Structure 1
Amino acid sequence: MSKADTYRWLEKDSKRTQQWIRAQEEQTNKYFRDTQSRNILKKRFKNLLDVDVELIPVVRDGQYFFRRRKKGEDQASLFLKHGLKGKPVLLINPNTLRFGKIQNWCVSKDAKYIAVDFSLVSNDRYVIKIFDVAKKKFLKDTITSDGYPRFNAWHVSSNGFWYSKGEKGHSIAEEKYFKRIYYHILGRLIEEDELFFGKDLVKEDYPSIKCSHDGRYEIVTVHHALKTTTIYFRDTQNSESKFINITGNIKALSYAKAEDDYIYLFTDHKAPNSKILRRKILKNFLGKWQVFVPELKFKLEDYILLKNYLLIEYIENVSSSIYLLNLKSGKRKNIKLPSCGSMGGYSNEYNDRELFFSFSSLNVPSSIYRLDLRTLGKKLYWRSKINLSSAMSLKQEWVISKDGIRIPFFILKNKDNNQISPTLVYAYGGFGFSLLPGFRSSVIPFVENGGIFVLANIRGGGEFGKEWHEAIIKNKQHKRFEDFAAILKHLVDQKYTIPEKLGIWGGSNGGLLMSVMALRYPNLFRVALIDVPVTDMLRFQHFHGGRYWFHDYGNPDDKKMRKYLLTYSPYHNVGNENYPAMMIMTAEHDDRVHPMHSYKLFAALKANKKQNNTLLLKIERQAGHGGSGKLEVTINKLADMFYFLCKELGIKV
């Protein structure tokens, strides 16, 4: 174990660093020379991923905008059809452009324009471009990538839009901070854009704006570094027309929507599982908050505001469920979902005609459903053509962690597989992110070949609300490590697998988890797949918006937190023993978790003379935190990952 920062030089993109990177890549490439097993995996991943895909449509007064990717294409193109059964017309094909990957898009209320967030190398640095639907071409209006801009909302007139970005004049290291909201009028120079909101916000505050469907109400949400929000509201028909703070000084995570005569507030204030409040909008003042949807024993995950309904999504025992609440009668109707699984998104206009949503499960590929809001009946709109064996079964089990808390996890395997088997366990456990059992094409070949895939819902996520998340923050991070260890031990105790056939996998915050597990529990498993990990817990705050992570990790500049962080920081805790085989993966242009985290941990592990198990460093070029977005690159990465896993576990593909 070393507390010294021996490899700090790897933080800089220097000639020395590049030489070191090339040397590691040479070793990695030797390991992945084309083999029959890898080619078999690659072919199966191609069959799973290179298929026709359609995404949820966005509706504007009978016009349906949607994305569709055809087999053989990297990205989904953007289409328009007039009417539900109209003929699709191609609008934007990103595969023929040089703008990069489409990250987000938003259609103006009158359907004349589409704002598109592009990322050249699929990282967090976006460019905002505006597409003219009638002329089928992009306008000159472009918000450049400086300050990490994000499109927020169209003005109801469609003559302009709001976007957030960092102030000018800050260093690259500070570029993700000092966010403000600006307003751009189409046709004007970007330099003329006015500062709309946020002049006095502090460094880590992140504001965004949205409007009611008619543009009357404007709501600004300011995210603070410590996982709280402040909500500002403005009625543009009010004679004073000023933003007012509607959440006061409460320390809570809240989101608001406003339509017609009411403001709705989704909040976890005095409600760990969240609730929805409502207050009436009166002339020149607001009524009192009243509980509209009370807190229940299950986590309230999301809500969609419709003309006469509120669609509510819950997480019940780590599975999505949705209900329609009649705003007038108060009656609630359960919208039955196909199975245990995960919602993938919604799309609707503010009316009572229709709503689209997607759903999937670990053993059920994604489908899109259309909910008729007049009859409340749902119909299948689109279904993935991925063919899966009906022999795959999904079940949920629970285990007791070290401190007595029950921890759930899902098991995906073939129904007739009742023997000790190669097993891969995936987890994240942080930032309140709920890890639901949605479809993952990446694990299908492993299960088809007799493996078992486990999705672990350790504490740190949002599956059971705010308390589940905050049970592991700051100086309680060890609890999520113990949760994960309990699941691994349970799988061995229950004869699902043995340590020699057990692998673990996680990315980003989950990559931190896997790194810690490899160093703390080296005898529990054989292989670790560690993707874009955070590993230097003493210096993460100096890179790419790392200060936004203080709520979960704490501030390394605080002496007490620094002492605790040193107890588990992977880079600082590499000892002198033979750790499990590890494949550490990063991306060349990752501007969320800096590649230095992967480089420094790998260098420390390589210097360990007792390490006999395989160590590999895999660097994805021209890619960001979520990968390059290119289909062939993704297929090759998965083939490499699972070839490594299978080889190190002794599995014949």
Structure 2
Amino acid sequence: MSDPPETDRREVVEEVHGEEIRDPYRWLEEDTEEVRAWVERQNDYADDHLRGAVRDALEPRFEARAEVQSYGVVTPCERGYFQTVEAADEDHPKLCFRPELDAEPTVLADPNEWPETDSLDWFVPSSDGALVAYGRAAGGEEQYDVTILDAETGETVGVVRDCGRTNPESVAWTEEGFYYVTTGSADEGAQLEKQIRYHELGAGESAAADDPVLTDDVGEHVWPQLGYTDGTLVVAYHRGWTHSDVYRWECDGRSPANGELVELVADADASFRFALADGTAYFRTDYDAPHSRVLACDVDADAADPDDLAEVVPEREGTLTDVAVAGDSLVVHRQRDAASSLSVYDRTGGKRRDVALPEYAAVGRGDLTGHPDAPEFYFRAQTFDRPPWVARGRTDAEETTVVSERGPESNGDSESPFDSDLDLVVEQQFFESADGTEVPAFVVHREGVERDGDNPTVLYGYGGFRITLTPRYDRFRVPFLEDGGVYVQANLRGGAEYGEEWHRAGMRERKQNVFDDFYAVAEGLIEREYTRPERLAAMGRSNGGLLVGAAITQRPDLFGAASCGVPLLDMLRFHEFLLGESWTTEYGSPDDPDDFRYLREYSPYHNVSEREYPAVYFETAAGDTRVHPGHARKMTARMQAANTGEKPVLLRTETEAGHGVGKPTSMVVAEQLDRWAFLYDQLGVPTESNASDETNVTGESNASDESKGTE
């Protein structure tokens, strides 16, 4: 293959906290015609490596797996049920409503009729279900217009344009409208500027700026959660992932002008996330409970010391991650060793029963729903070998019933809802990190794979922001497993696998623990003879992309390839762009001299040196409004210049996509094809086109130029 495109070095030299910092590719942070031309050349270079026999062999298998049904969790309301449904031949899920669970659904909004890059990313029904608001964005940019529909007729009641990063947690319905959070635009670099506004129904189509402001005293590091009950607005100001201040706003249910902000939970250095029902706030909190518990108080109570709140569900083994109100009960979701369990309690904390789930099943964030007026709840679950299904449970009965699951019609003559007859082995194993901490990881492969030290293996990690990597079905991972690959998902510190202590052990000055955990799993897989470095790939996205960037600069000897998506890589300037300033609570701030020292020590961009690197495939998106694409651009340029080996360093930039939200299925298929074609080639995974090629199957590079650049 040809050499990578040349990139001009334009040295910027700064003294930061007494250290000279050189940045030769800062010009790639800009959005100019010159940068866009550079991105186009990099895309062409990536195409030269990725478009070939391996990708061609995978394409029909991936396209077949794209044509399947998918369902969102059911959201119950007084008047019926809302759910998103994507048919096998569609690019986007539709928003549907049913007055009864067994009734034929009415399509309220169909993004498949919109421009291809527009998506419906979330919805929030009114308290009685008569109306529903949904967020529409273009190009994956997560900058929303909010549309209000009549659930019975599907007619548009109103549209509020230019709301910014509004999300479902920041919308609270009243009888006459809704409170919501707006932000400034990504184009103006104002996403951290937030206001709480009120929209009264009847305005037709209007701009968010036309709605009255309840308060703009929110703060850059704060993300509000809103809820409304019995004439009271409850507001939680979440500062990062470790601190919440909770207030109530007495209002008349219409105008925000008639109210006063009153502290509800005071002086608590802990996280408090709430669910409201019948004038009571149920708090999921890690206050004096690192694995979390449920506390409660009346929303009209005086400011409460957290010690005075009533304990409803105590801390137990496993981390409490969600709670839903269902009739007179609470349904509690816990994670133990990264797998899910569900339990039903009455509202005073008496345990009623556990809900049966398969081994190593996971209920995702936002995938547990209920309603205060009905003794039913819904959840969406999945395992490594079973695609997501939606089930209905009752608080007064033992059994649960599957209400939505992929049907056999998506698989031709098959009578199975799965897209493969693969018999998978799923094990949870533990690996000792550098400081002696036991780190769990799920190891997944097909039956019959031998530990001969030579299996192609992909190691996936994240490690941050209290996010737990739970078992997840991935239809585009199936071919890799069918072809003898081993997939490993590591549960690193920085997540919430074992509560807040596990999170804090991987944040700020302790971030190196996350990387060491990842290396411990990689080394353990080699020691246990699953694979060898040449056939081991590191994979991660976003904060997980930072993990991969650290891995290839700190331990390039440990990996033969790396897939690094929408990553943070310049940890001395991340806070200058988009949402970066809000992440200083997790990473620390480069403006602080103490934080700067440890950030500089591991910042991947600043630790690239002349040496041989594994093959790397960077992915970013021009419309990413979370992580700036300049991270991946600069890192690509620096690594291409410094790499003394023959393995390629590639960059793919999607020009009409964002961080990952709302992508059409057709775009997802193309993205996954490129990613897995890269991994197949670099790890030597046999396909129909190369199974007879002995050198490729063993993971060694072929002599021909064609094989050198593909992953």
Q: TM-score, normalised by structure 2?
A: 0.86
Quote how far apart the aligned CAs of 1:107 are.
Answer: 1.8
Note if 1:449 corresponds to 2:469: no
Task: Evaluate the alpha carbon distance shift between residue 283 and residue 106 of structure 1 in structure 2; reply closer, same or farther with a 3 A threshold.
Answer: closer
Q: Is the 8 A contact 2:198 2:212 kept in 1?
A: yes
Note if 1:81 corresponds to 2:98: yes
Q: Name the counterpart of 2:699.
A: none
What amino acid does structure 1 have at the position aligned with 2:584?
Answer: F
Q: Name the counterpart of 1:130.
A: 148
Note if 1:332 corresponds to 2:352: yes
Aligned mates of 1:221, 1:204 — CA distance in 2? 13
Task: Evaluate the alpha carbon distance shift between residue 467 and residue 26 of structure 1 in structure 2; reply closer, same or farther with a 3 A threshold.
Answer: same
Note if 1:181 corresponds to 2:199: no
Q: Is the 8 A contact 2:361 2:382 kept in 1?
A: yes
Q: Which moved more, 1:389-398 or 1:109-118?
A: 109-118
Aligned mates of 2:332, 2:20 — CA distance in 1? 50
Q: Name the counterpart of 2:420.
A: 388
Quote how far apart the aligned CAs of 1:40 are.
Answer: 2.7
Q: Name the counterpart of 1:311.
A: 331
1:59-458 alignment runs, 5 A limit? 59-98=76-115, 100-145=118-163, 147-150=164-167, 152-157=170-175, 159-166=176-183, 172=187, 174-188=189-203, 189-190=206-207, 191-196=209-214, 198-212=215-229, 215-225=230-240, 227-234=242-249, 242-260=260-278, 262-280=280-298, 288-327=308-347, 330-344=350-364, 345-384=367-406, 385-420=417-452, 421-458=455-492
Quote how far apart the aligned CAs of 1:627 are.
Answer: 5.9
Q: Which moved more, 1:187-196 or 1:583-592?
A: 187-196
Aligned mates of 2:429, 2:674 — CA distance in 1? 30
Task: Evaluate the alpha carbon distance shift between residue 564 and residue 154 of structure 1 in structure 2; reply closer, same or farther with a 3 A threshold.
Answer: closer
What amino acid does structure 1 have at the position aligned with 2:218?
Answer: L
Cα displacement string for residues 84-142 of structure 1 (whole angstroms, at most 9, x for unaligned residues): 21122222111112481011011223433221101101122122122233443334532
Identity %: 27
Q: Is the 8 A contact 1:506 1:529 kept in 2?
A: yes
Aligned mates of 2:158, 2:520 — CA distance in 1? 56
What amino acid does structure 2 have at the position aligned with 1:586?
Answer: T
Task: Evaluate the alpha carbon distance shift between residue 637 and residue 418 of structure 1 in structure 2; reply closer, same or farther with a 3 A threshold.
Answer: same
SS at match of 2:358: coil
The runs of 5 or more residues in structure 1 that have no matched partner are none
Q: Name the counterpart of 2:583.
A: 549
Q: Is the 8 A contact 1:313 1:320 kept in 2?
A: yes
Aligned mates of 1:422, 1:356 — CA distance in 2? 38
SS at match of 1:4: strand
Cα displacement string for residues 584-621 of structure 1 (whole angstroms, at most 9, x for unaligned residues): 00011111000000000000011115132111111112
Aligned mates of 2:622, 2:249 — CA distance in 1? 43
Task: Evaluate the alpha carbon distance shift between residue 622 and residue 478 of structure 1 in structure 2; reply closer, same or farther with a 3 A threshold.
Answer: same
SS at match of 1:332: strand
Q: Is the 8 A contact 2:292 2:320 kept in 1?
A: yes
Aligned mates of 2:304, 2:629 — CA distance in 1? 49
Note if 1:38 corresponds to 2:82: no
Quote how far apart the aligned CAs of 1:206 are.
Answer: 2.4
Quote how far apart the aligned CAs of 1:448 are.
Answer: 0.7
Q: Which moved more, 1:40-49 or 1:584-593?
A: 40-49
What amino acid does structure 1 have at the position aligned with 2:196?
Answer: I
Q: Is the 8 A contact 1:622 1:628 kept in 2?
A: no
Cα displacement string for residues 23-50 of structure 1 (whole angstroms, at most 9, x for unaligned residues): 2112111112342x31232222222222
Q: Is the 8 A contact 1:430 1:461 kept in 2?
A: yes
What amino acid does structure 2 have at the position aligned with 1:6?
Answer: P
Quote how far apart the aligned CAs of 1:192 are.
Answer: 3.8
The runs of 5 or more residues in structure 2 that have no matched partner are 1-18, 407-416, 688-711
Quote how far apart the aligned CAs of 1:171 are.
Answer: 8.6
Q: Is the 8 A contact 1:226 1:550 kept in 2?
A: no
Cα displacement string for residues 347-401 of structure 1 (whole angstroms, at most 9, x for unaligned residues): 2221233211111111121111110233242112122223333511111000111
Task: Evaluate the alpha carbon distance shift between residue 242 and residue 633 of structure 1 in structure 2; reply closer, same or farther with a 3 A threshold.
Answer: same
Aligned mates of 1:18, 1:617 — CA distance in 2? 13
SS at match of 1:164: strand
Aligned mates of 2:45, 2:511 — CA distance in 1? 34
Q: Name the counterpart of 2:28.
A: 10
Q: Which moved more, 1:632-641 or 1:260-269?
A: 260-269
Q: Which moved more, 1:1-10 or 1:108-117?
A: 1-10
Q: Which moved more, 1:276-285 or 1:576-585?
A: 276-285
SS at match of 2:672: helix
Aligned mates of 1:609, 1:274 — CA distance in 2? 46
Task: Evaluate the alpha carbon distance shift between residue 418 and residue 186 of structure 1 in structure 2; reply closer, same or farther with a 3 A threshold.
Answer: same
Q: Is the 8 A contact 1:274 1:295 kept in 2?
A: yes
SS at match of 1:144: strand
Aligned mates of 1:461, 1:226 — CA distance in 2? 11
Quote how far apart the aligned CAs of 1:329 are.
Answer: 7.5
Q: Which moved more, 1:175-184 or 1:526-535?
A: 175-184
Task: Evaluate the alpha carbon distance shift between residue 376 and residue 396 of structure 1 in structure 2; reply closer, same or farther with a 3 A threshold.
Answer: same
SS at match of 2:570: coil
Q: Is the 8 A contact 1:363 1:412 kept in 2?
A: no
Aligned mates of 2:246, 2:153 — CA distance in 1? 38
Note if 1:520 corresponds to 2:538: no
Quote how far apart the aligned CAs of 1:428 are.
Answer: 0.2
Quote how far apart the aligned CAs of 1:19 are.
Answer: 2.0
Aligned mates of 1:55, 1:501 — CA distance in 2? 36
Cα displacement string for residues 226-247 of structure 1 (whole angstroms, at most 9, x for unaligned residues): 6311111246699x96432122
Q: Is the 8 A contact 1:432 1:461 kept in 2?
A: yes
SS at match of 1:16: helix
Aligned mates of 1:349, 1:551 — CA distance in 2? 34
Task: Evaluate the alpha carbon distance shift between residue 578 and residue 115 of structure 1 in structure 2; reply closer, same or farther with a 3 A threshold.
Answer: same
